[in-house]
Structure 1
């Protein structure tokens, strides 16, 4: 109980630092790690060893993935490939299904591209669509925002899910497959269909009649990469990782194909290949008067990834100290005595922490440190446990989260409209995805790659 009380006190300090004083998550996570160690009476030498090894282990696990993934995503955004992909979906699905097009665009783009960058890049398209169709802006936001956030929080190789999978030693390929399986239905229900319903309701209340999307708006820009090219580049690393997971499951280790994809499908190698190929293919769109070469561009973008590395790494430090303190075992034992299922605990705890601190990544790292290993030790699949945590961070997008303010800043939504377009659909999506995950849990022992 003393350990739990200490943990809750440290968490309150963490929340106050993040929410009230707006201190950088990387700073507060490191301070919280040191404080937790001191208050649980660890030796100073042990604390220093844990924070160092925790940071190092996290960087060993996903450091290169974050760097290569960040550069890869920036290439797609800066070249204009993401915008062309969005317009391509609109042309493919037709003007009547603009909500579906936006939802799928967000769902796919946010797999390799950081959520904030993707939304900022695509937000002008929402404004342009609204001016022409007169549809409700918050409905467009719901369609795009939900697709973006679900894959950002659930589908690797985004940093948060990667960190969770790494902490639980889950197979990344299968983590991606099952992540998509639970996230896609939730995205379609709570992004596409919810967006349509929200538009109809708001237009009825405001007595607005929607118009039509201009052909000119969604026409392909010959000065930017094609939608097909952008989609192929996004799918490249995912395909390599997934093929590796399947091949290594069905082929003998001495098989040449097994060895080839064991290498090519390695997480680091797959994203590195995607980054290099994308850079070479998109070079003419990235190199200009201020950026004289592709390699200079990579250097510039790599510098911007430092903050993400800081948060992920110090999250690893905090997780390391939490695990050594015994708080995870104490919390799991306490809640087990209360007959609260561990998976529900993981889901709700991640959602609550995300709402409090405003960061899905911080919530994932904190929750996996508290209940992750305990849940796996109780016989649950590391993929099920990891996804329960990731899914929890989708819900309760509140004003504490910078993501909440993106629609207000870039699409002129009021707080009430932002709640309609982000908080409500994403919270519903979180519960929908969790229900799907619980269905998978019932068949976990029969499903490939779960253990």
Structure 2
């Protein structure tokens, strides 16, 4: 039993260090790796190489993908392409069901753009729609925030889900993760919509914003791109990754000739995102496109660097756990409890609720449970994918005062803290519980 106590103590240390001591998650996970190595009795001459190997292995698989995905998101944000994507969706769907439209806007925009940035970008559009259509501002806020949050935690190429997929050995099967992630993200977004309906009578002091003010707010972007150019940087890579996954199915549906080789090459996440980056560069306006691209790249590197380091430290932590007898011990005990995907959810939800960051929760929880997948009955491609979904569900449960996204949503929507808890926080709790229920039911049917 002492190994269980060590594991619980390690989780408590990570939560305490990141939430109370405010230590950077990278340093926390690195320290946890060394503490785990000594506590579980790894040979002294193997500790350094195990940690270094785990760090390098995960970054070798997924590091460049995180960088490229982040740079694409920065370009979409800074060129106004995200605004174009939102307006195009609204034109296609109309304004008959405004909360649903707002949820779908957030759902799509947050695939490449961080949910915090996405909310800031789309907030004026949300307020404009709420005013002109006489819809509850709180309901529109919840619809937007939960739509953004659904894909942020469940669908690559958002960095958190990508890192979790890499930790769980799915770096070459992201197409399956994207496909399954979209299904569960729809379920999560629908749960958010339900809560938006229940939040419609909550008070709001959000200021009115006219259509003219919204138009003025777009002027700093300059000439906005067309819809095809705006969507291409994200939809083309996703399509290529999915086609590459189809081509690589064991049944060889596309044969083994040139078409297979081409799609297999183009569908590799790194290659697909590099093509997406090429489409993103076309969005940059002005005579000095190279300078603009350099600025956006620099910003993308700044944003992605902490995620990459945390992901690497998570890989090191996972490698240490994998080198201990913990997996075998827990397997003999957990397998009889039938926890399955519930355990990854609980770990991620505890981390998310305690320290605030969904990305940290995704990376840390996936690294922690990766060595335990055989004992949990999840050591298959679909089992690993469902584990990513369970961790993603936990990483949205719940967004409250220690989460920067909570403050972005509440402050930009002019909510007091009590209203934000009753609307946004309660919505993320409901989303997480509904999503993990769906994931658990899917695991019963598929595993």
For the superposition of Structure 1 and Structure 2, which TM-score range results when normalised by the shorter chain? 0.7 to 0.9
Q: Is the 8 A contact 1:173 1:241 kept in 2?
A: yes
Summarize the alignment of residues 365-376 of structure 1 with structure 2, pairs less than 5 Å apart. Answer: 365-376=363-374
Summarize the alignment of residues 179-194 of structure 1 with structure 2, pairs less than 5 Å apart. Answer: 179-187=181-189, 189-194=190-195
2:300 maps to 301
1:195 maps to 196
User: Alpha-carbon deviations, 1:65-106, whole Å to 9, x = none?
Assistant: 111001000010000111222223233322332212221111
2:99 maps to 99
Query: What SS does structure 1 have at the residue aligned with 2:149?
Result: helix
1:407 maps to 409
Q: TM-score, normalised by structure 1?
A: 0.87
After superposition, the Cα gap between the structure-2 partners of 1:211 and 1:9, relative to the gap in structure 1 and judged at 3 Å, is: closer
Summarize the alignment of residues 134-153 of structure 1 with structure 2, pairs less than 5 Å apart. Answer: 135-153=135-153
How many corresponding residue pairs? 435
Q: TM-score, normalised by structure 2?
A: 0.88
After superposition, the Cα gap between the structure-2 partners of 1:92 and 1:197, relative to the gap in structure 1 and judged at 3 Å, is: farther
Picking from 350, 354, 359, the partner of 1:352 is 350
User: Alpha-carbon deviations, 1:241-274, whole Å to 9, x = none?
Assistant: 0111112223366311000001101000001110
After superposition, the Cα gap between the structure-2 partners of 1:151 and 1:346, relative to the gap in structure 1 and judged at 3 Å, is: same
Q: Is the 8 A contact 1:36 1:321 kept in 2?
A: yes
1:330 maps to 329
Query: What SS does structure 2 have at the residue aligned with 1:225?
Result: coil
After superposition, the Cα gap between the structure-2 partners of 1:20 and 1:438, relative to the gap in structure 1 and judged at 3 Å, is: closer
Query: What SS does structure 1 have at the residue aligned with 2:225?
Result: coil
After superposition, the Cα gap between the structure-2 partners of 1:365 and 1:402, relative to the gap in structure 1 and judged at 3 Å, is: same
Measure the CA separation in 2 of the matches of 1:268 and 1:101.
32
Q: Are residues 1:63 and 2:49 paired?
A: no
Give, in angstroms, the shift of residue 26 of structure 1: 1.2
Give, in angstroms, the shift of residue 378 of structure 1: 5.1
More displaced, 300-309 or 143-152? 300-309
More displaced, 79-88 or 363-372? 363-372
More displaced, 368-377 or 315-324? 368-377
Give, in angstroms, the shift of residue 298 of structure 1: 2.2
**CA RMSD, 1 decimal:** 2.9
Measure the CA separation in 1 of the matches of 2:433 and 2:105.
22
1:158 maps to 158
User: Alpha-carbon deviations, 1:135-177, whole Å to 9, x = none?
Assistant: 4333222111111111111111222222222233232111110
User: Alpha-carbon deviations, 1:364-419, whole Å to 9, x = none?
Assistant: 23333333343345543222222222222222222222222211233322222222
Q: Is the 8 A contact 2:71 2:297 kept in 1?
A: yes
User: Alpha-carbon deviations, 1:201-225, whole Å to 9, x = none?
Assistant: 237xx8x9x9998488479978212
Query: What SS does structure 1 have at the residue aligned with 2:323?
Result: helix
Picking from 246, 256, 269, the partner of 2:258 is 256
Q: Is the 8 A contact 2:341 2:443 kept in 1?
A: no
Measure the CA separation in 2 of the matches of 1:439 and 1:316.
29
Q: Are residues 1:247 and 2:247 paired?
A: yes
Unaligned runs of 5+ in 2: none
Give, in angstroms, the shift of residue 421 of structure 1: 3.2
Q: Is the 8 A contact 1:30 1:317 kept in 2?
A: yes
1:449 maps to none
Unaligned runs of 5+ in 1: 446-451
